[in-house]
Every structure is written in structure tokens, then in C-alpha cells.
Structure 1
């Protein structure tokens, strides 16, 4: 009986072992699709670029190495074949040596929501041996100054992060698949390792890689390739992120209509005129409500083109939509519109942008709205204006600071008049160039204000809307910490932090937010924006009546406190 039981156990064990071997062998013999191979190659290539000691030092022609491994993996079919090709390639780059004293800064506090190397262990793509090799490179990563990315310190007005030493290819040929993939892989990895808000995007960045791959590996036309590049940048959900090339005119046109619009309830409402005389030619008036363009509803146009329009949130996307709705290459565009309750159709003339530039009208920097309330247009105020202005308006019971045209850098000086002492208002996170993908919290929060017993003690009111972006939002954060401050308006753009501008490859210029901006308690501002204490949305009726509904609400609050 004991021998029988032992035989059964041995048989079960043998079968389990055999099944395990069969499963493992089946995994190794699993065929990979072209998209799977290209996506995995993009990740490995980018990782090695910033981590491998024999790559990050600039000693390799890294673009040529990409072309080399693409050739070597093109004819591989199975997981085993693909992993072997990648492993052999990594080995050919040079030895990665162990080192005992791994350099760390114990004083650093890390923001690690973006860094993720779990893909090393993807057994549907990589063998265990290749995974271990990648982990070894990660552990014994490059310790010097990376050849491809740096922090510049010469220009205080430029963002620190800079992508450097990339070949631009003056004769870039879009029909060359290798060149298309190079552009794609570069950009995807810039975002993977150096975009501080990657964790906030609507779509997981790994899924973006696989979804977009066919549009780069096999575009039908040159325009399709350019549109894929723009769509890729839009997927950052960052109002700072954009990409423009001359080919975009083929899709959207290079002629503009002479008016500014706001999208409200899926309608385009005229809120301003770019050029009064040209607007009169097409009988455009503020308050006109355009419902169709070339026979398509505004809602349909938005649905068809959202993937090409950048923005951190819905408010900023709609703010940026005007060119996708009205631009074109013809001299005019047919629209259906309503005015004073009646619907009509007409043609609006289009012009090259240079013809729309009119002599700017002087704008008032500040004024008293009544005996108790003063108004400051921060889109016009510079530091030179602040001392005289503040000394005069300090007598007001309330000061309204309008940030709906952004700001010009007077925030720190204004804060000295509004605060009794220095106050923390913002916290930053910078890319960790020693461990790309990680970010490091700056050791101290930024402060504004100074010791001032004679600080302003009245109401401080800040006006914001979707135009309030970047430095405008930063300014709102600094004003918000002053005593007795109230923010009134609608959702802001939700894009804060210095903008890194660079050329991915010749002819493809782009940008995105390069460092993280948070409240001192580490709460996000990106995508969320500056949340109003009192929410007020502009309405079609208000525009047609010539009302500034946000300013009117601010005046009511200044007078009644509610």
C-alpha cells in the first residue's frame, strides 16, 4: 500500500514538473507581434540611454544602435529569439561593473509616482535572464553627468532641464521607418523619464506606446505622420504641451477669422475681435453665437478633433479649440449663427495671421471702481508699477486682482504689501538626473511676502478663468496666502511649472511642463488648476448683454462679503 501511494505521488510530481516545463517552453516559443517587439525595444532603448554606464556617458552612437537592434529583432519571432537578440545587444555595449558604494543623498525626499520598472518582469515579452540583466543595469546605473540631459544654470530665465546632444538630422526623411521610430522613441522616453505629471495622464503612458505604434510604423501619408506626432503630445493632458509643424496647415489651414471665441454649451460665442475693421467686413459682432461651420455642428467638430487639441482639463481644451474650428486655407468659411434670436447663414472672411495684427489699444493698468474698491489688471502690471499703485490703492476696502489675462511677474513685490510676514505658497519637484524617472522635492518651500506690520488688511479678491495659466496660476497661489483672500471665477488652465522647449528631430518642435508645482502640503495644481472659492461661469446671455459676470460677482462680494 505504501509503495502504491509513493508511486502515485511520484507520478503526480512528474506530471506537474512536465506541465511546468511544457508551459515554460510554450512561453518561450510564443510568437510576438511587430507592435510588441517595437514597444519593448522602445522601452529598453530609452532605459539604456539614461541608465547604462556605457551609453549614458555618450560613448555610443545611440541612434545608430537603435537602427542596429531594429534590424536584429525584425526577423525574430518568439519570446526566446527576441530576448536573445536584446540580451546579445546589451552585452555588446560593454561591461556593467558592480560597485559597492552606491551613491545616495540621504537628505533627498523623493516624489516617486512616475518611476516604474515593473515592465522588466513582463514574462509575455522578456525571458527571466533578460529581466535579470535589465535589473542589474538599473542597480549599477551610470553615476556621472548624463550625456543627453542636463540642468542649465547660466540663464536664470530659462528652465533648468535641457535635452542635449541629440542629432537633429537636417535631411530627415519621413518615409524612412527608422527615422519615424527614432522620433517616436525619443519623445516617448522624454516623457517617460522627465515629465513630472506622467502619473496624471488620462491614458497610461505604456498603453500610449502600443496604441500609437502603428501610426508611426506604418503611416499612410506624411500628414498622417505629423498628426500622429501632435496626437502624441496631446496625450500628455498638459496645457503647456504642444507640437507644431508646417504640415499642420494641410490639415487645419493657415488662415484665421478675425474674432475670438469661447465655447459655451457646444456653441462658439464671439467674445472679442482680433481686428475691428476686418471683423466689420464680415459683420461679426460680440455675442454672435455660431452653431455650425461648413455644415458641421460645433459639437461634431470638437468630437472629431479633440485628439489634436492640447489642454490639461476640459476648460483649457475648449479654450484652445478656436483654430481647429475656424481655420482653413480658403479665403472664407460658411457659418450658421444666431443674433438677437434669429438664425442666419453667411461667409466669414479668413486672413493670414499677420493681417489680423492691429495697433494694440492701451489698456488701463489699475483704477478705482468706486470709493471702496480698486481694480488691478495683472496682465498689464510690471514690477515698476507696483510701488506707486499699491501706495494709492491701500486705502481701498477691497482690491480686485484680475488674472484672466495672466501676469507679468509683479507677484512677489505685490505680496510684500499683502502679507504680515513671509508665507509659504508653493512646493517644487525636480527631475532626478541620477535616477531618471524619479523626482526630488526641493528642500524648502517657496515663500512670498516680508515682515510688514503695515500690510494691507482689506479684502483681497483674485479673478481667474481658463485663460489663467502657468505663471498666472503661480501668481494666484502667491496671492491666495494673503490674509482675507478670496478667489472668484472658473477653472484655470491647470498647467504650472517651467516649460522645456526642444526639437525632437528636425522640424518637430515641442514643449511640456518640466518640473512639478504643488501647494506646500503637496496637493496638485496640475490639471486641477486653482480652485475658485466662489465659482462663476461666463454665460452666453452675459456676453450678449456686455456684462463681465465674474467681475460683477467680485464687486458684490467686496461690498457684502458673500
Structure 2
């Protein structure tokens, strides 16, 4: 039903037909955004850097505003395109090389929507597509690195043109260079239409910046990020000195950023926080999850501390439960530098557990440690690899000990810069493992959860192909591939995934993540009792294979 409504809505953008009928500001600017981005990456005289493309946008916007009908709009755009110079027709060389295209994101059919564009404008856009730039892209390079954008000394958020430039740049970055665009909950065209009004006429400065945070969250990508200093004015700069996990819509204390500061307010592991400033954690989650970039709900909950627990004051009143007793108290919050977070992980890299089971913490294990570890574990009945963290690049070194021969474990797609929006399956992603008749023949157990993201998930995929591998835990963050962080305009940062990672059979990992064979999630009681229930379940499996 949702898809049908979406199609109707998108059609309504051009529903009246091309007949000199009035068009709205939203319709005109949505179409201008798409044309501007298309020309930026396809027109030979634009994609090679011959024009100041921001300045061209600023020049066409007043003419777009003046256009009252679809005919006037098409005429303005067509004259603009003509002013960019002649596009020469060329004959594409016929290649004998077979290319395996990934086209789930690739769709330029909108250029032929003659219900809104004039026939001659559609023909002009089609001709540009067919005779696109043949050399290097000026605004993007291999591997997806945006370059040669005009840099400004500051982002003037009071200037509508600058706000539109920010939206147009970002929307087109995603349109052409986000491999998982097709997996978003909301169609990207519809997202443009939704956020244009908040760009053109923001209710307030705060609402404008929050709209950009929401826009970033629409990618449904745990790698995505939107950052601006002015967001601190809304969410605040004071944070808590402890870590928590959302369980049953409650915030359960699971660790400390700074234990000494936490002790000042007698914060203990297992405390169950139910309210902040009189508002339930459940209500705060519902209100703020739209601002959190995450591929799935567990990933969103893992990142929701910022909007819920940060603030502009250095104290907060909380309601919490301890030993079945509910109390209220005021806790202190601190500026980031005052938290003095200790990021060092002093855990043992590897150790023996009960009943001849090995355990490796991949957060601290290094490739140089692997040979000695595997020598010690070679006679273990099982090895548990803990990937509920960010590993140190040990996956290939470990895989050489776990497999009798090289194994395929991944299939990737890269942006096709000759046809932006299209992706290409890599011919050779390589393998993991090597010919090793003396490989480890015991059970391989992988521990994952929502903190397993990107290289953590890639590591799990690498080790998952071992002959006797079992994944235990919960859904991972669902965002594999390269995370690219960049500045859209001065002081406005963002990031998202720029190449796609799949299983060898081309099954998605984005949003889905690494699916456990045995699902286990921590419970409030388990945390209060000091248990690691996922590790406990892994030990039980190592002993019983059940």
C-alpha cells in the first residue's frame, strides 16, 4: 500500500501534464536539483570543470523562481543548458570486455518525463546522457572522493541560495554515489520533496539544522553522519560519564566512560534509568530516533545517547531502579574534555576458558599476535572470536589458520564514474585463507552485536566461511563497506558508505548485518548479576554444540 501511495505522490509532482499549467516552488526546485546534479556529472562541458557550477546554480535560481508554468520552467532550463556549449555526438567503442553491472540505483528515466519537461528539453537531456563526458570526472575521483568543490569561508545559513546549494550538493552526492540508495525506507526523490520546504522557509535556525540531521538519517545507513556546531545549541554539550544499553525501553548502565566521575553520583552497573527530567526513556526514544543515522533499529538505539542524555545544563534529574526500588536523584554531566574518557582497552588479547576453549578479543588482538595465539589454541575444541568491537585488521591472518583452502567470502560493488549512479560488481574481490592441510579443525564461534559495524562485520564475514563456524549474538549495525567522511560546505560535515559489500551470492549485508545462527541478547538481570550472556551462550555451545 505504501509503495502505491508513493507512486501516486511522485506522479502528482507532474500530474497535470505539459500544458502551460502552473507549477509550485517545490516542483520547480526539485526538478532543478535533479537537472543540476545530472549536468554536473554527465554534461561534457560541466563534468570536466569548465564552469563554476555553484555560480551557475545561483544564476539559474532567479529564472526558475520567475517561471510560473511548466512551459516557462522548461524554457528557462533549456536556455541554461544551451548556454553551456555544444555537446558533440560520439560513437561508443564496442568493448569485448564483459561488465557485470549493478543497476538497482541507476535510473535516469526522470529526464524523459514529458508531463513536466517539454519534449525538446527531454530530448536535450537524453542526448547529454547518450553523449556524456568521456574523460575524467572533475568533481569526483575513483574510490568516490569528492573534489574541486568551491570552498567558502563560512556557510551562510541565512542565505536561501546557500541552503539550497547545501541540499542540492548532498542530495546529488547520495543520488549518484550511495550504493545502498535502493534500500532506503523512503524513496530519495520523495525525501527531496519533503525537505525542500524546510530548506526554503525554515521555521527557525534550530529547525533548519534539525532538518539536515533528519535528512541524513533518511539514508538508513549506520555510516551516515551529519554534523554542525549549531546542533550543540539544541542537544547540548554536557554528557554523562557512564555507558548504557537500551533494553525494554529503559537505559541500563553497562559500563563507564569515567568511573571516578560516575562514583560521585553513585552510578552502578545494572542501574535501570527509566526517566530523565520527568520524561520516560521510551518517549525520548520515540521523539529522537528520527535524528539518528542507523541501518536498523538496534543500531539506532546504540547511538541514541546523544539526543537523550546530552544537555545544556551540567545536571539532570533521573528516575532509576536498583534492587527493585525506584528512586530519583540528580546526576552530573560534563563537557567532553572534562569527561577524560580512557579509550585504552587493557583486556587480555587471548586466553583459555573452561573446558579447553580459546577466547580472542579482536578489539586488541593484532596481526602480529595471531601466529602465537593459534599455536596455543591449535588443540582447543573451540575458539571464540569476540567481534563485539572494532578489530585491528586480523581477519585475513586468522583466516589462514581456519580454512583448508582459499575461500570466497565477499562480493563488492564500486561506482562506475563513466555512468554515475551505476555500479559495477568487482571482478575479483580476492579470497581469505590459503592451502593449509593442517588448518584448525575445531569449532569457530563468532560473537557479534549492534556494536559490530563496518570492518567488524567484514571480519565476521571473513571468519564465517570457516568449516565449523557459528555466529552467536544479535543483529549487527548493518553497514559494511567504506565510510567516507567529508565537508559539504564550510563547517557542515557528513559521511556515508561509498562502496557496497555483499555475500558471494550477492545477498545484502547492508541494513541486515551479520545474522546470528544463535540469537542472544543481554537481559537486565544478567547485567545486574555481572554476566556476559552472549559469551556464556558461546561457552555452552562449545561444550554441547547446542
- Shorter-chain TM-score bucket reads over 0.9
1:147-166 alignment runs, 5 A limit = 147-151=138-142, 160-166=143-149
After TM superposition, the runs of 4+ consecutive aligned structure 1 residues lying more than 3 A away are 24-27, 102-106, 358-361
- Distance (whole Å) between structure 2 residues aligned to residue 93 and residue 274 of structure 1: 56
Q: In the alignment, does 2:372 pair up with 1:388?
A: yes
Aligned residue number for residue 22 of structure 2: 31
State the TM-score, normalized to the length of structure 1.
0.93
- Distance (whole Å) between structure 1 residues aligned to residue 95 and residue 483 of structure 2: 28
Per the alignment, in what secondary structure is the counterpart of residue 55 of structure 1?
A: helix
The offset of 1:25, in angstroms, is: 10
Aligned partners of 1:40 and 1:125 also within 8 Å: no
Aligned residue number for residue 369 of structure 1: 353
Change (3 A) 1:323 1:404: same
Aligned partners of 1:427 and 1:446 also within 8 Å: no
Per the alignment, in what secondary structure is the counterpart of residue 452 of structure 1?
A: coil
Aligned residue number for residue 382 of structure 2: 398
50-59 or 355-364, which deviates more: 355-364
Change (3 A) 1:236 1:361: closer
The offset of 1:245, in angstroms, is: 1.2
Q: In the alignment, does 2:427 pair up with 1:443?
A: yes
- Distance (whole Å) between structure 1 residues aligned to residue 119 and residue 479 of structure 2: 41
Aligned residue number for residue 56 of structure 2: 65
Per the alignment, in what secondary structure is the counterpart of residue 44 of structure 2?
A: coil
- Distance (whole Å) between structure 2 residues aligned to residue 45 and residue 503 of structure 1: 20
388-397 or 42-51, which deviates more: 388-397
Task: Output one character per residue of 1:96-122: Cα deviation in whole Å (capped at 9) or x when no partner.
Answer: 111123565732110000011121233
Aligned partners of 2:223 and 2:294 also within 8 Å: yes
Aligned partners of 1:32 and 1:125 also within 8 Å: no
1:526 aligned to which of 510, 515, 518:
510
Equivalences, count: 531
1:110-509 alignment runs, 5 A limit = 110-151=101-142, 160-359=143-342, 360=344, 362-509=346-493
- Distance (whole Å) between structure 2 residues aligned to residue 199 and residue 473 of structure 1: 21
Task: Output one character per residue of 1:441-483: Cα deviation in whole Å (capped at 9) or x when no partner.
Answer: 1102331001111000000000000000000000000000011
- Distance (whole Å) between structure 1 residues aligned to residue 502 and residue 95 of structure 2: 25
- Distance (whole Å) between structure 2 residues aligned to residue 48 and residue 299 of structure 1: 46
Aligned partners of 1:36 and 1:125 also within 8 Å: no
Aligned partners of 2:362 and 2:391 also within 8 Å: yes
Task: Output one character per residue of 1:35-69: Cα deviation in whole Å (capped at 9) or x when no partner.
Answer: 00000000000000000011001001110110111
- Distance (whole Å) between structure 2 residues aligned to residue 207 and residue 525 of structure 1: 25
User: Unpaired segments of 5 or more residues in structure 1?
Assistant: 1-23, 152-159
Per the alignment, in what secondary structure is the counterpart of residue 445 of structure 2?
A: strand
Aligned partners of 1:196 and 1:439 also within 8 Å: yes
- Distance (whole Å) between structure 1 residues aligned to residue 109 and residue 417 of structure 2: 20
50-59 or 444-453, which deviates more: 444-453
1:83 aligned to which of 74, 80, 84:
74
- Distance (whole Å) between structure 2 residues aligned to residue 348 and residue 212 of structure 1: 37
The offset of 1:361, in angstroms, is: 5.7
The offset of 1:498, in angstroms, is: 0.8
Change (3 A) 1:26 1:246: closer
Per the alignment, in what secondary structure is the counterpart of residue 360 of structure 2?
A: strand
Q: In the alignment, does 2:501 pair up with 1:517?
A: yes
The offset of 1:26, in angstroms, is: 7.2
Task: Output one character per residue of 1:393-431: Cα deviation in whole Å (capped at 9) or x when no partner.
Answer: 111100000001121101100100111011010011000
Aligned partners of 2:409 and 2:503 also within 8 Å: yes
Aligned partners of 2:112 and 2:126 also within 8 Å: no
Aligned residue number for residue 527 of structure 2: 543
- Distance (whole Å) between structure 2 residues aligned to residue 513 and residue 191 of structure 1: 10
Change (3 A) 1:361 1:196: closer
Aligned partners of 1:421 and 1:449 also within 8 Å: yes
- Distance (whole Å) between structure 1 residues aligned to residue 348 and residue 180 of structure 2: 37
Q: Which of these two proteins has the greater Rg computed from alpha carbons?
A: 1
State the TM-score, normalized to the length of structure 2.
0.95
178-187 or 362-371, which deviates more: 362-371
Aligned residue number for residue 12 of structure 2: none
User: Unpaired segments of 5 or more residues in structure 2?
Assistant: 1-14
